[in-house]
Structure 1
Amino acid sequence: MSDHPLIISSQFLKEHLNDPQVVIIDCRFALADPQQGYQQYQTSHIPGAHYLDLNQDLSAPVERHGGRHPLPESNQIAQKLAAIGVRFGETLVVAYDDSRCAFAARLWWLLRYLGHDRVAVLDGGWGAWQSQGYPVTDALPTPQPGQFVPQVRSEWVVDINAVKARKDLPDVALVDSRARDRYLGEHEPIDPIAGHIPGAINYPWQEVTNAQGYLHSPDQQKQRWNDVQDKPEIIVYCGSGVTACVNLLSLELAGMARGKLYAGSWSDWCSYLRETSG
Structure 2
Amino acid sequence: MTYIISVSRLKNRLENNRDNTVIVDVRFQLTDSEAGRKQYIKDHLPGAVYLDLEKDLSSKAEKHGGKHPLPDMTTFARKVGNIGIDHNTTVVIYDQANEMFAARLWWLLQCLGHEKAYVLDGGYEEWLRQENPVTDQMPVLEPKRFRPILRDEQTANIDEVKEKLENDTAIVIDSRERERYLGNIEPLYHKAGHIPGAKNYFWKDVLNKKGSWKKDEVLREHFSAIPKDKEVIVSCGSGISACPNILALKMAGYDNVKLYPGSFSDWISYEENKIEKKEE
TM bin, normalised by shorter chain, reads over 0.9
Paired residues for 1:65-214 under 5 Å: 65-87=64-86, 89-210=87-208, 212-214=210-212
Task: Give the Cα separation in 2 of the matches to 1:118 and 1:131.
Answer: 26
Q: Which amino acid aligns with 2:260?
A: Y
Aligned amino acid, residue 204 of structure 2: Q
> What amino acid does structure 2 have at the position aligned with 1:257?
D
Q: Distance in 2 between matches of 1:105 and 1:8?
A: 13
Counterparts of residues 49-64 of structure 1 (less than 5 Å) = 49-64=48-63
| 1:14 positional shift | 1.4
SS class of match (1:20):
helix
**3-state DSSP of counterpart to 1:120:** strand
Q: Of 252, 255, 263, which residue of structure 2 is paired with 1:254?
A: 252
Cα deviation digits, residues 22-43 of structure 1 (max 9, x gap): 0000010000000000000011
| Residue 6 of structure 1, aligned match among 3, 18, 40 | 3
How big is the shift at 1:169? 3.2
Aligned AA (2:78): Q
C-alpha distance in structure 2 between counterparts of 1:275 and 1:7, whole Å:
37
- Does residue 48 (structure 1) correspond to residue 54 (structure 2)? The answer is no
Separation (CA, whole Å) in 1 of partners of 2:13 and 2:206: 26
CA distance change for structure 1 residues 268 and 22 in 2, over 3 Å: closer, same or farther? same
Q: Residue in 2 aligned with 1:35?
A: 34
**Greater mean deviation of Cα atoms: 223-232 or 70-79:** 223-232
Q: Which moved more, 1:10-19 or 1:248-257?
A: 10-19
From the superposition, tell whether residues 100 and 211 of structure 1 become closer, same or farther in structure 2 (CA, over 3 Å): farther
TM-score by length of 1: 0.94
Q: Does structure 1 conserve the Cα–Cα contact (< 8 Å) formed by 2:2 and 2:216?
A: no
Aligned counterparts of 1:133 and 1:51: Cα–Cα separation in 2: 22
- The separation in 1 between residues aligned to 2:26 and 2:272, in whole angstroms, is 32
Structure 2 residue runs of 5 or longer lacking an equivalent are 276-280
Deviation at 1:242, TM superposition (A): 0.5
Aligned residues: 273
Query: Residues 211-247 of structure 1, C-alpha deviation per residue, up to 9 Å, x if partnerless?
Result: 5531000011100110013452001000000110000
> 2:60 and 2:138 mapped to 1: Cα distance?
26
Aligned to 2:278: none
Q: AA paired with 2:6? A: S
The residue type equivalent to 1:121 in the other structure is V
Residues 97 and 122 of structure 2 are in contact (CA less than 8 Å); yes or no, is this contact kept in structure 1? no
Contact 2:93 2:117 in 1 (8 A): yes
Separation in 1 of the partners of 2:210 and 2:30? 19
Shift in Å at residue 274 of structure 1? 7.1
Unaligned runs of 5+ in 1: none
Task: Please give the alpha-carbon distance, in whole angstroms, between the structure 2 residues aligned to 1:210 and 1:27.
Answer: 22
Determine if contact 2:22/2:92 at 8 Å carries over to the other structure.
yes
Q: Structure 1, residues 57-98: CA drift from partner, whole Å, max 9, x if none?
A: 0001111100000000011111111111001x2100000002
